[in-house]
Structure 1
Protein backbone atom coordinates (compact mmCIF):
# COMPACT_ATOMS: atom_id res chain seq x y z
CA UNK A 1 0.00 0.00 0.00
CA UNK A 2 2.57 2.58 1.08
CA UNK A 3 6.03 3.21 -0.19
CA UNK A 4 8.77 5.75 0.10
CA UNK A 5 12.43 6.44 -0.45
CA UNK A 6 15.09 5.96 2.18
CA UNK A 7 14.33 9.28 3.80
CA UNK A 8 10.58 9.79 3.88
CA UNK A 9 7.23 8.80 2.45
CA UNK A 10 6.72 10.20 -1.03
CA UNK A 11 3.09 11.18 -0.69
CA UNK A 12 3.11 13.65 -3.53
CA UNK A 13 3.55 12.00 -6.91
CA UNK A 14 4.85 8.81 -8.48
CA UNK A 15 4.56 8.34 -12.21
CA UNK A 16 1.07 9.30 -13.33
CA UNK A 17 -0.69 8.33 -10.09
CA UNK A 18 -0.89 10.70 -7.13
CA UNK A 19 -0.39 9.13 -3.71
CA UNK A 20 -1.99 12.14 -2.05
CA UNK A 21 -5.12 11.86 -4.19
CA UNK A 22 -5.58 8.14 -3.58
CA UNK A 23 -4.87 8.42 0.13
CA UNK A 24 -7.32 11.29 0.34
CA UNK A 25 -10.03 9.35 -1.46
CA UNK A 26 -9.60 6.35 0.82
CA UNK A 27 -8.99 7.94 4.19
CA UNK A 28 -10.08 11.60 4.29
CA UNK A 29 -13.64 10.70 5.34
CA UNK A 30 -12.31 8.84 8.39
CA UNK A 31 -9.92 11.63 9.32
CA UNK A 32 -12.61 14.29 8.99
CA UNK A 33 -15.05 12.19 11.00
CA UNK A 34 -12.58 12.33 13.90
CA UNK A 35 -12.08 16.08 13.45
CA UNK A 36 -15.82 16.59 13.63
CA UNK A 37 -16.06 14.48 16.79
CA UNK A 38 -13.37 16.67 18.37
CA UNK A 39 -15.44 19.74 17.59
CA UNK A 40 -12.91 21.58 15.41
CA UNK A 41 -14.27 25.06 14.90
CA UNK A 42 -13.60 28.81 14.71
CA UNK A 43 -10.45 29.98 16.45
CA UNK A 44 -8.77 26.56 16.70
CA UNK A 45 -5.00 26.39 16.28
CA UNK A 46 -4.01 23.25 14.36
CA UNK A 47 -0.72 21.68 13.34
CA UNK A 48 -1.02 19.40 10.31
CA UNK A 49 2.08 17.23 9.79
CA UNK A 50 2.67 16.57 6.07
CA UNK A 51 -1.04 16.87 5.43
CA UNK A 52 -2.91 16.49 2.15
CA UNK A 53 -4.52 19.50 0.53
CA UNK A 54 -8.10 18.38 1.17
CA UNK A 55 -7.56 17.95 4.91
CA UNK A 56 -5.76 21.30 5.12
CA UNK A 57 -8.58 23.00 3.22
CA UNK A 58 -11.19 21.45 5.51
CA UNK A 59 -9.35 22.62 8.60
CA UNK A 60 -8.88 26.11 7.15
CA UNK A 61 -12.62 26.46 6.50
CA UNK A 62 -13.48 25.28 10.01
CA UNK A 63 -11.02 27.42 11.98
CA UNK A 64 -11.78 30.53 9.94
CA UNK A 65 -10.04 33.88 10.09
CA UNK A 66 -9.61 33.70 13.86
CA UNK A 67 -7.83 30.33 13.72
CA UNK A 68 -4.57 29.00 12.33
CA UNK A 69 -3.43 25.89 10.46
CA UNK A 70 0.33 25.30 10.48
CA UNK A 71 1.27 22.76 7.81
CA UNK A 72 4.76 21.27 7.95
CA UNK A 73 6.84 19.01 5.72
CA UNK A 74 10.52 18.17 5.43
CA UNK A 75 10.42 18.81 1.67
CA UNK A 76 11.58 22.39 1.05
CA UNK A 77 10.09 22.52 -2.44
CA UNK A 78 6.67 21.53 -1.07
CA UNK A 79 6.73 24.35 1.43
CA UNK A 80 7.11 26.88 -1.39
CA UNK A 81 3.50 26.20 -2.46
CA UNK A 82 1.60 29.49 -2.00
CA UNK A 83 -0.64 29.67 1.04
CA UNK A 84 -2.89 32.25 2.58
CA UNK A 85 -4.33 32.79 6.07
CA UNK A 86 -5.27 30.90 8.11
CA UNK A 87 -2.80 28.41 6.53
CA UNK A 88 0.93 28.78 7.17
CA UNK A 89 3.41 26.39 5.54
CA UNK A 90 6.81 25.61 7.06
CA UNK A 91 9.76 23.35 6.30
CA UNK A 92 10.12 21.15 9.36
CA UNK A 93 11.36 17.66 10.28
CA UNK A 94 9.03 16.36 12.92
CA UNK A 95 11.41 13.77 14.35
CA UNK A 96 14.45 16.04 14.46
CA UNK A 97 13.30 19.56 15.32
CA UNK A 98 11.35 21.28 18.05
CA UNK A 99 7.62 21.81 17.37
CA UNK A 100 6.71 24.76 15.13
CA UNK A 101 4.86 26.41 17.99
CA UNK A 102 2.86 25.50 21.06
CA UNK A 103 -0.64 25.76 22.43
CA UNK A 104 -2.25 23.85 19.54
CA UNK A 105 -5.82 22.65 19.96
CA UNK A 106 -5.20 19.85 17.45
CA UNK A 107 -2.15 18.12 16.04
CA UNK A 108 -2.71 15.60 13.26
CA UNK A 109 -0.36 13.29 11.34
CA UNK A 110 -1.41 10.68 8.79
CA UNK A 111 1.15 8.31 7.28
CA UNK A 112 3.81 10.85 8.24
CA UNK A 113 6.06 8.68 10.43
CA UNK A 114 6.83 5.71 8.15
CA UNK A 115 10.38 6.82 7.37
CA UNK A 116 11.01 9.09 10.37
CA UNK A 117 14.06 7.57 12.13
CA UNK A 118 13.03 8.61 15.66
CA UNK A 119 9.26 8.06 15.66
CA UNK A 120 8.92 8.20 19.42
CA UNK A 121 10.63 11.59 19.52
CA UNK A 122 8.26 12.78 16.80
CA UNK A 123 5.25 11.72 18.86
CA UNK A 124 6.62 13.41 21.97
CA UNK A 125 7.15 16.58 19.94
CA UNK A 126 3.58 16.54 18.70
CA UNK A 127 2.20 15.94 22.19
CA UNK A 128 4.41 18.70 23.61
CA UNK A 129 2.92 21.18 21.14
CA UNK A 130 -0.61 20.74 22.48
CA UNK A 131 -2.34 23.07 24.91
CA UNK A 132 -3.91 21.47 27.99
CA UNK A 133 -7.00 19.69 26.71
CA UNK A 134 -5.67 19.67 23.14
CA UNK A 135 -5.94 16.53 21.04
CA UNK A 136 -3.37 14.55 19.08
CA UNK A 137 -4.64 12.34 16.24
CA UNK A 138 -2.11 10.03 14.59
CA UNK A 139 -3.05 7.69 11.75
CA UNK A 140 -0.79 5.00 10.33
CA UNK A 141 -1.21 1.84 8.32
CA UNK A 142 -0.33 -1.56 9.68
CA UNK A 143 1.04 -3.61 6.79
CA UNK A 144 1.50 -6.75 8.87
CA UNK A 145 -1.87 -6.78 10.63
CA UNK A 146 -3.42 -7.70 7.28
CA UNK A 147 -0.52 -8.58 4.94
CA UNK A 148 -2.45 -9.45 1.75
CA UNK A 149 -3.33 -7.17 -1.12
CA UNK A 150 -5.90 -9.82 -2.15
CA UNK A 151 -7.54 -11.27 0.99
CA UNK A 152 -9.57 -13.60 -1.27
CA UNK A 153 -6.66 -15.49 -2.85
CA UNK A 154 -8.64 -17.68 -5.24
CA UNK A 155 -6.54 -17.67 -8.43
CA UNK A 156 -3.08 -17.12 -9.95
CA UNK A 157 -3.64 -13.37 -10.35
CA UNK A 158 -4.34 -13.00 -6.63
CA UNK A 159 -1.43 -15.26 -5.71
CA UNK A 160 0.95 -13.13 -7.79
CA UNK A 161 -0.42 -9.95 -6.22
CA UNK A 162 0.13 -11.29 -2.71
CA UNK A 163 3.65 -12.45 -3.56
CA UNK A 164 4.49 -8.97 -4.79
CA UNK A 165 2.92 -7.46 -1.65
CA UNK A 166 5.29 -9.61 0.41
CA UNK A 167 8.15 -8.20 -1.66
CA UNK A 168 6.98 -4.62 -1.09
CA UNK A 169 6.98 -5.22 2.67
CA UNK A 170 10.51 -6.61 2.43
CA UNK A 171 11.66 -3.49 0.57
CA UNK A 172 10.03 -1.13 3.07
CA UNK A 173 11.45 -3.00 6.05
CA UNK A 174 14.89 -2.78 4.47
CA UNK A 175 14.46 0.99 4.26
CA UNK A 176 13.77 1.17 7.99
CA UNK A 177 9.99 1.42 7.91
CA UNK A 178 8.05 0.13 10.91
CA UNK A 179 5.40 -1.98 9.20
CA UNK A 180 3.51 -2.51 12.47
CA UNK A 181 3.43 1.17 13.41
CA UNK A 182 -0.35 1.35 13.36
CA UNK A 183 -0.99 -1.18 16.11
CA UNK A 184 1.55 0.48 18.40
CA UNK A 185 -0.06 3.90 18.31
CA UNK A 186 -2.36 3.62 21.36
CA UNK A 187 0.50 2.52 23.61
CA UNK A 188 2.86 5.13 22.18
CA UNK A 189 0.35 7.92 22.75
CA UNK A 190 -0.12 6.85 26.36
CA UNK A 191 3.66 6.83 26.79
CA UNK A 192 3.80 10.48 25.71
CA UNK A 193 1.56 11.27 28.70
CA UNK A 194 -1.72 11.67 26.82
CA UNK A 195 -4.96 10.60 28.46
CA UNK A 196 -8.28 9.20 27.26
CA UNK A 197 -6.49 7.39 24.44
CA UNK A 198 -8.74 5.61 21.96
CA UNK A 199 -8.25 4.04 18.53
CA UNK A 200 -10.16 2.55 15.63
CA UNK A 201 -9.32 1.24 12.17
CA UNK A 202 -10.59 1.52 8.62
CA UNK A 203 -9.91 -1.35 6.21
CA UNK A 204 -10.90 -0.76 2.56
CA UNK A 205 -11.32 -4.19 0.97
CA UNK A 206 -11.92 -3.08 -2.60
CA UNK A 207 -12.22 0.31 -4.29
CA UNK A 208 -10.87 2.02 -7.41
CA UNK A 209 -8.55 4.06 -5.19
CA UNK A 210 -7.09 0.84 -3.76
CA UNK A 211 -6.14 -0.23 -7.28
CA UNK A 212 -4.69 3.21 -8.08
CA UNK A 213 -2.62 3.14 -4.90
CA UNK A 214 -1.32 -0.34 -5.69
CA UNK A 215 -0.25 0.73 -9.18
CA UNK A 216 1.58 3.77 -7.79
CA UNK A 217 3.26 1.65 -5.12
CA UNK A 218 4.46 -1.03 -7.52
CA UNK A 219 5.81 1.53 -9.98
CA UNK A 220 7.74 3.31 -7.26
CA UNK A 221 9.44 0.20 -5.86
CA UNK A 222 9.73 -1.73 -9.13
CA UNK A 223 13.49 -1.31 -9.39
CA UNK A 224 13.96 -2.41 -5.77
CA UNK A 225 11.82 -5.50 -6.22
CA UNK A 226 13.82 -6.58 -9.27
CA UNK A 227 17.22 -5.68 -7.83
CA UNK A 228 16.57 -7.67 -4.66
CA UNK A 229 15.31 -10.70 -6.58
CA UNK A 230 11.82 -10.40 -5.13
CA UNK A 231 10.10 -10.20 -8.52
CA UNK A 232 10.92 -10.15 -12.21
CA UNK A 233 9.96 -7.46 -14.69
CA UNK A 234 7.63 -10.01 -16.25
CA UNK A 235 5.92 -10.58 -12.88
CA UNK A 236 5.40 -6.87 -12.42
CA UNK A 237 4.11 -6.28 -15.94
CA UNK A 238 1.65 -9.14 -15.51
CA UNK A 239 0.44 -7.78 -12.17
CA UNK A 240 -0.11 -4.31 -13.60
CA UNK A 241 -1.97 -5.84 -16.54
CA UNK A 242 -4.14 -7.87 -14.16
CA UNK A 243 -5.04 -4.71 -12.24
CA UNK A 244 -5.88 -2.86 -15.46
CA UNK A 245 -8.48 -5.52 -16.29
CA UNK A 246 -10.51 -4.25 -13.34
CA UNK A 247 -11.57 -7.65 -12.01
CA UNK A 248 -9.34 -7.86 -8.93
CA UNK A 249 -10.44 -7.03 -5.39
CA UNK A 250 -7.46 -5.14 -4.00
CA UNK A 251 -7.36 -4.14 -0.35
CA UNK A 252 -5.47 -1.31 1.32
CA UNK A 253 -3.72 -2.06 4.59
CA UNK A 254 -5.80 -1.16 7.66
CA UNK A 255 -5.40 2.48 8.64
CA UNK A 256 -5.37 2.77 12.41
CA UNK A 257 -6.40 6.10 13.94
CA UNK A 258 -5.34 6.75 17.54
CA UNK A 259 -6.08 9.86 19.55
CA UNK A 260 -5.67 11.24 23.03
CA UNK A 261 -5.81 14.43 25.07
CA UNK A 262 -3.20 16.41 26.93
CA UNK A 263 -4.05 16.93 30.59
Structure 2
Protein backbone atom coordinates (compact mmCIF):
# COMPACT_ATOMS: atom_id res chain seq x y z
CA UNK A 1 0.00 0.00 0.00
CA UNK A 2 2.29 2.73 -1.24
CA UNK A 3 2.16 6.35 -0.19
CA UNK A 4 4.66 9.11 0.35
CA UNK A 5 4.67 9.10 4.16
CA UNK A 6 4.25 5.36 4.62
CA UNK A 7 1.27 3.32 5.68
CA UNK A 8 0.19 4.24 9.21
CA UNK A 9 -0.77 0.64 10.08
CA UNK A 10 2.51 -1.06 9.19
CA UNK A 11 2.20 -4.77 8.36
CA UNK A 12 5.46 -5.43 10.22
CA UNK A 13 4.15 -4.26 13.58
CA UNK A 14 3.25 -6.97 16.07
CA UNK A 15 -0.43 -5.93 16.11
CA UNK A 16 -0.80 -6.35 12.34
CA UNK A 17 -1.60 -10.06 12.51
CA UNK A 18 -4.32 -9.41 15.09
CA UNK A 19 -5.81 -6.70 12.87
CA UNK A 20 -5.78 -9.01 9.83
CA UNK A 21 -7.64 -11.71 11.79
CA UNK A 22 -10.22 -9.22 13.07
CA UNK A 23 -10.78 -7.74 9.61
CA UNK A 24 -11.22 -11.25 8.23
CA UNK A 25 -13.80 -12.05 10.91
CA UNK A 26 -15.68 -8.83 10.19
CA UNK A 27 -15.57 -8.64 6.39
CA UNK A 28 -14.60 -11.94 4.76
CA UNK A 29 -18.19 -13.24 4.61
CA UNK A 30 -19.28 -10.07 2.81
CA UNK A 31 -16.32 -10.21 0.43
CA UNK A 32 -16.95 -13.87 -0.40
CA UNK A 33 -20.61 -13.09 -1.05
CA UNK A 34 -19.52 -10.54 -3.64
CA UNK A 35 -17.19 -13.08 -5.25
CA UNK A 36 -20.20 -15.38 -5.60
CA UNK A 37 -22.18 -12.51 -7.15
CA UNK A 38 -19.68 -12.09 -9.99
CA UNK A 39 -19.72 -15.85 -10.55
CA UNK A 40 -16.15 -16.92 -9.75
CA UNK A 41 -15.48 -20.43 -11.00
CA UNK A 42 -12.78 -23.07 -11.38
CA UNK A 43 -9.92 -22.08 -13.63
CA UNK A 44 -10.23 -18.34 -12.99
CA UNK A 45 -7.12 -16.17 -12.79
CA UNK A 46 -7.37 -13.86 -9.78
CA UNK A 47 -5.28 -10.98 -8.49
CA UNK A 48 -5.67 -10.15 -4.79
CA UNK A 49 -4.29 -6.61 -4.36
CA UNK A 50 -2.85 -5.32 -1.09
CA UNK A 51 -3.57 -8.71 0.38
CA UNK A 52 -2.49 -8.08 3.98
CA UNK A 53 -3.64 -11.28 5.68
CA UNK A 54 -3.92 -14.61 3.83
CA UNK A 55 -7.63 -15.44 4.26
CA UNK A 56 -9.04 -13.98 1.03
CA UNK A 57 -6.25 -15.36 -1.15
CA UNK A 58 -6.72 -18.79 0.44
CA UNK A 59 -10.47 -18.74 -0.30
CA UNK A 60 -9.80 -17.80 -3.92
CA UNK A 61 -7.17 -20.54 -4.25
CA UNK A 62 -9.64 -23.16 -3.03
CA UNK A 63 -12.37 -21.92 -5.38
CA UNK A 64 -10.38 -21.67 -8.63
CA UNK A 65 -8.83 -25.10 -8.20
CA UNK A 66 -5.65 -26.51 -9.74
CA UNK A 67 -6.36 -25.03 -13.18
CA UNK A 68 -6.72 -21.53 -11.74
CA UNK A 69 -4.23 -18.95 -10.59
CA UNK A 70 -4.18 -16.67 -7.54
CA UNK A 71 -1.65 -13.87 -7.32
CA UNK A 72 -1.46 -11.96 -4.03
CA UNK A 73 0.50 -8.73 -3.87
CA UNK A 74 1.30 -6.04 -1.32
CA UNK A 75 3.95 -3.44 -0.76
CA UNK A 76 4.89 -5.46 2.35
CA UNK A 77 4.67 -9.25 2.00
CA UNK A 78 5.79 -10.11 5.54
CA UNK A 79 2.51 -12.05 5.87
CA UNK A 80 3.36 -14.10 2.78
CA UNK A 81 4.58 -17.42 4.21
CA UNK A 82 1.11 -18.73 5.04
CA UNK A 83 -0.35 -17.70 1.69
CA UNK A 84 2.56 -19.08 -0.34
CA UNK A 85 2.40 -22.49 1.32
CA UNK A 86 -1.25 -22.67 0.26
CA UNK A 87 -0.43 -22.47 -3.45
CA UNK A 88 -0.81 -18.69 -3.81
CA UNK A 89 1.77 -16.72 -5.81
CA UNK A 90 3.09 -13.89 -3.63
CA UNK A 91 4.82 -10.86 -5.15
CA UNK A 92 5.85 -7.50 -3.72
CA UNK A 93 4.03 -4.81 -5.73
CA UNK A 94 3.15 -1.15 -5.23
CA UNK A 95 -0.21 -0.79 -6.97
CA UNK A 96 0.06 3.00 -7.11
CA UNK A 97 3.43 3.05 -8.85
CA UNK A 98 4.21 -0.28 -10.49
CA UNK A 99 2.97 -1.62 -13.82
CA UNK A 100 0.28 -4.31 -13.65
CA UNK A 101 1.61 -7.82 -13.07
CA UNK A 102 1.45 -10.31 -15.91
CA UNK A 103 -2.16 -11.18 -16.65
CA UNK A 104 -4.79 -10.71 -17.76
CA UNK A 105 -7.11 -11.63 -14.88
CA UNK A 106 -10.69 -12.83 -14.65
CA UNK A 107 -11.04 -11.18 -11.23
CA UNK A 108 -9.14 -8.36 -9.56
CA UNK A 109 -9.97 -7.58 -5.93
CA UNK A 110 -8.75 -4.86 -3.57
CA UNK A 111 -10.09 -4.40 -0.02
CA UNK A 112 -9.07 -1.49 2.20
CA UNK A 113 -6.30 -0.59 -0.22
CA UNK A 114 -7.07 2.39 -2.44
CA UNK A 115 -8.32 4.56 0.43
CA UNK A 116 -4.72 4.50 1.75
CA UNK A 117 -2.86 4.87 -1.56
CA UNK A 118 -1.75 8.40 -2.38
CA UNK A 119 -1.64 7.55 -6.11
CA UNK A 120 -5.15 6.04 -6.01
CA UNK A 121 -6.18 7.26 -9.48
CA UNK A 122 -3.18 5.55 -11.04
CA UNK A 123 -3.82 2.47 -8.91
CA UNK A 124 -7.39 2.17 -10.13
CA UNK A 125 -6.22 2.44 -13.74
CA UNK A 126 -3.74 -0.37 -13.05
CA UNK A 127 -6.50 -2.60 -11.70
CA UNK A 128 -8.69 -2.01 -14.75
CA UNK A 129 -5.80 -2.55 -17.16
CA UNK A 130 -5.11 -5.94 -15.59
CA UNK A 131 -8.60 -7.29 -16.44
CA UNK A 132 -9.33 -9.46 -19.43
CA UNK A 133 -12.31 -8.32 -21.52
CA UNK A 134 -15.29 -9.60 -19.55
CA UNK A 135 -13.26 -9.75 -16.33
CA UNK A 136 -14.55 -8.38 -13.03
CA UNK A 137 -13.12 -5.76 -10.69
CA UNK A 138 -14.29 -5.70 -7.06
CA UNK A 139 -13.07 -2.77 -4.95
CA UNK A 140 -14.01 -2.51 -1.28
CA UNK A 141 -13.07 0.55 0.75
CA UNK A 142 -14.20 2.07 3.99
CA UNK A 143 -15.83 5.48 4.07
CA UNK A 144 -15.11 6.84 7.58
CA UNK A 145 -16.51 10.25 6.68
CA UNK A 146 -19.89 8.69 5.91
CA UNK A 147 -20.23 7.48 9.51
CA UNK A 148 -17.49 9.02 11.68
CA UNK A 149 -18.33 7.55 15.10
CA UNK A 150 -16.84 4.34 16.41
CA UNK A 151 -19.56 4.48 19.09
CA UNK A 152 -22.72 5.57 17.23
CA UNK A 153 -24.61 5.44 20.53
CA UNK A 154 -22.58 8.12 22.33
CA UNK A 155 -24.47 7.97 25.62
CA UNK A 156 -21.70 8.52 28.16
CA UNK A 157 -18.08 9.59 28.82
CA UNK A 158 -16.62 6.22 27.83
CA UNK A 159 -18.25 6.43 24.41
CA UNK A 160 -17.24 10.08 24.05
CA UNK A 161 -13.62 9.15 24.76
CA UNK A 162 -13.74 6.37 22.18
CA UNK A 163 -15.09 8.74 19.54
CA UNK A 164 -12.50 11.39 20.37
CA UNK A 165 -9.65 8.90 20.00
CA UNK A 166 -11.14 7.71 16.72
CA UNK A 167 -11.19 11.33 15.49
CA UNK A 168 -7.49 11.55 16.33
CA UNK A 169 -6.75 8.31 14.51
CA UNK A 170 -8.50 9.58 11.38
CA UNK A 171 -6.50 12.78 11.56
CA UNK A 172 -3.35 10.63 11.46
CA UNK A 173 -4.73 8.77 8.45
CA UNK A 174 -5.39 12.02 6.59
CA UNK A 175 -1.85 13.16 7.34
CA UNK A 176 -0.61 9.98 5.62
CA UNK A 177 -2.66 10.70 2.50
CA UNK A 178 -5.76 8.58 3.15
CA UNK A 179 -9.00 9.73 1.51
CA UNK A 180 -11.67 9.15 4.15
CA UNK A 181 -14.60 9.74 1.78
CA UNK A 182 -13.31 7.57 -1.04
CA UNK A 183 -15.68 4.65 -0.63
CA UNK A 184 -18.82 6.53 -1.70
CA UNK A 185 -17.20 7.51 -5.01
CA UNK A 186 -16.36 3.98 -6.10
CA UNK A 187 -19.47 3.36 -8.27
CA UNK A 188 -18.88 6.54 -10.26
CA UNK A 189 -15.14 5.89 -10.54
CA UNK A 190 -15.69 2.37 -11.87
CA UNK A 191 -18.11 3.69 -14.50
CA UNK A 192 -15.71 6.47 -15.47
CA UNK A 193 -12.98 3.82 -15.83
CA UNK A 194 -15.10 2.20 -18.53
CA UNK A 195 -16.54 -0.73 -16.58
CA UNK A 196 -20.04 -2.03 -17.27
CA UNK A 197 -22.72 -3.56 -15.05
CA UNK A 198 -21.50 -1.51 -12.07
CA UNK A 199 -23.23 -2.15 -8.74
CA UNK A 200 -22.40 -1.37 -5.13
CA UNK A 201 -23.56 -1.92 -1.58
CA UNK A 202 -22.39 -1.21 1.95
CA UNK A 203 -21.82 -3.30 5.05
CA UNK A 204 -21.13 -2.02 8.50
CA UNK A 205 -21.02 -3.98 11.76
CA UNK A 206 -22.46 -2.09 14.72
CA UNK A 207 -20.98 -4.27 17.44
CA UNK A 208 -19.02 -7.50 17.49
CA UNK A 209 -16.24 -9.13 19.50
CA UNK A 210 -14.09 -8.68 16.39
CA UNK A 211 -14.74 -4.92 16.53
CA UNK A 212 -13.29 -4.91 20.05
CA UNK A 213 -10.24 -6.87 18.94
CA UNK A 214 -9.72 -4.61 15.93
CA UNK A 215 -9.97 -1.41 17.97
CA UNK A 216 -7.58 -2.67 20.64
CA UNK A 217 -4.97 -3.67 18.06
CA UNK A 218 -5.40 -0.44 16.11
CA UNK A 219 -5.01 1.80 19.17
CA UNK A 220 -1.96 -0.15 20.31
CA UNK A 221 -0.48 0.21 16.84
CA UNK A 222 -0.86 4.00 16.68
CA UNK A 223 -0.67 4.97 20.35
CA UNK A 224 2.77 6.58 20.04
CA UNK A 225 1.59 8.75 17.13
CA UNK A 226 -1.56 9.75 19.02
CA UNK A 227 0.51 10.91 21.99
CA UNK A 228 3.23 12.58 19.90
CA UNK A 229 0.64 14.58 17.92
CA UNK A 230 -1.16 15.66 21.09
CA UNK A 231 -4.32 13.77 20.10
CA UNK A 232 -4.49 11.69 23.28
CA UNK A 233 -2.65 11.14 26.52
CA UNK A 234 -1.26 7.83 27.72
CA UNK A 235 -3.85 7.88 30.52
CA UNK A 236 -6.71 8.32 28.04
CA UNK A 237 -5.42 5.49 25.88
CA UNK A 238 -5.12 3.14 28.85
CA UNK A 239 -8.60 4.11 30.04
CA UNK A 240 -10.04 3.46 26.58
CA UNK A 241 -8.35 0.07 26.33
CA UNK A 242 -9.70 -0.84 29.78
CA UNK A 243 -13.20 0.19 28.70
CA UNK A 244 -12.95 -2.13 25.68
CA UNK A 245 -11.66 -5.01 27.80
CA UNK A 246 -14.57 -4.54 30.23
CA UNK A 247 -17.08 -4.91 27.40
CA UNK A 248 -18.71 -1.55 28.03
CA UNK A 249 -18.54 -0.23 24.46
CA UNK A 250 -20.62 -1.05 21.39
CA UNK A 251 -17.90 -0.46 18.80
CA UNK A 252 -18.79 -0.08 15.12
CA UNK A 253 -16.70 0.01 11.97
CA UNK A 254 -16.76 2.50 9.15
CA UNK A 255 -19.17 1.53 6.36
CA UNK A 256 -17.44 -0.76 3.89
CA UNK A 257 -18.48 0.19 0.37
CA UNK A 258 -18.18 -2.66 -2.12
CA UNK A 259 -18.37 -1.77 -5.82
CA UNK A 260 -17.98 -4.14 -8.72
CA UNK A 261 -18.04 -3.89 -12.49
CA UNK A 262 -17.07 -5.80 -15.62
CA UNK A 263 -14.65 -4.86 -18.37
CA UNK A 264 -16.74 -4.83 -21.56
CA UNK A 265 -16.21 -7.91 -23.71
CA UNK A 266 -15.63 -5.76 -26.80
CA UNK A 267 -12.82 -3.83 -25.09
CA UNK A 268 -9.73 -4.92 -26.98
CA UNK A 269 -7.38 -2.34 -25.47
CA UNK A 270 -5.71 -4.80 -23.12
CA UNK A 271 -1.99 -3.95 -23.19
TM range (shorter): over 0.9
Q: Which residue of 2 aligns with 1:229?
A: 230
After superposition, what is the alpha-carbon deviation per residue over 1:160-188, rounded to whole angstroms, capped at 9, x for unaligned? 11111111111111111111121111121
Q: Which residue of 1 aligns with 2:204?
A: 203
State the shift of 1:64 in Å: 0.6
Q: Which residue of 2 aligns with 1:49?
A: 49
Give unmatched runs, 5+ long, in structure 1: none
Query: Relative to structure 2, which stretch is displaced further, 84-93 or 248-257?
Result: 84-93
* Partners of 1:59 and 1:12 in 2: CA distance: 24
State the shift of 1:230 in Å: 1.3
Count of aligned pairs: 260
Change (3 A) 1:156 1:82: closer
* Partners of 2:87 and 2:263 in 1: CA distance: 24
Matches within 5 A, 1:213-224: 213-224=214-225
Give me the TM-score of the superposition, normalised by structure 1: 0.93
The answer to whether the 8 Å contact 1:96/1:122 transfers is yes
After superposition, what is the alpha-carbon deviation per residue over 1:169-210, rounded to whole angstroms, capped at 9, x for unaligned? 111111111111211111211121111111101010000000
State the shift of 1:84 in Å: 5.2
2:3 corresponds to 1:23? no
Q: Which residue of 2 aligns with 1:161?
A: 162
Q: Which residue of 2 aligns with 1:171?
A: 172
State the shift of 1:114 in Å: 3.3
Q: Which residue of 1 aligns with 2:40?
A: 40
* Partners of 1:199 and 1:82 in 2: CA distance: 28
Residue 18 of structure 1: SS of its match in structure 2?
Answer: helix
Residue 72 of structure 1: SS of its match in structure 2?
Answer: strand
State the shift of 1:125 in Å: 0.4
After superposition, what is the alpha-carbon deviation per residue over 1:226-248, rounded to whole angstroms, capped at 9, x for unaligned? 11111111111111111110121
Q: Which residue of 2 aligns with 1:7?
A: 6
Change (3 A) 1:16 1:108: closer
* Partners of 1:26 and 1:106 in 2: CA distance: 22
Change (3 A) 1:84 1:221: closer
Residue 197 of structure 2: SS of its match in structure 1?
Answer: strand
Q: Which residue of 1 aligns with 2:267?
A: none
State the shift of 1:82 in Å: 6.6
Query: Relative to structure 2, which stretch is displaced further, 177-186 or 10-19?
Result: 10-19
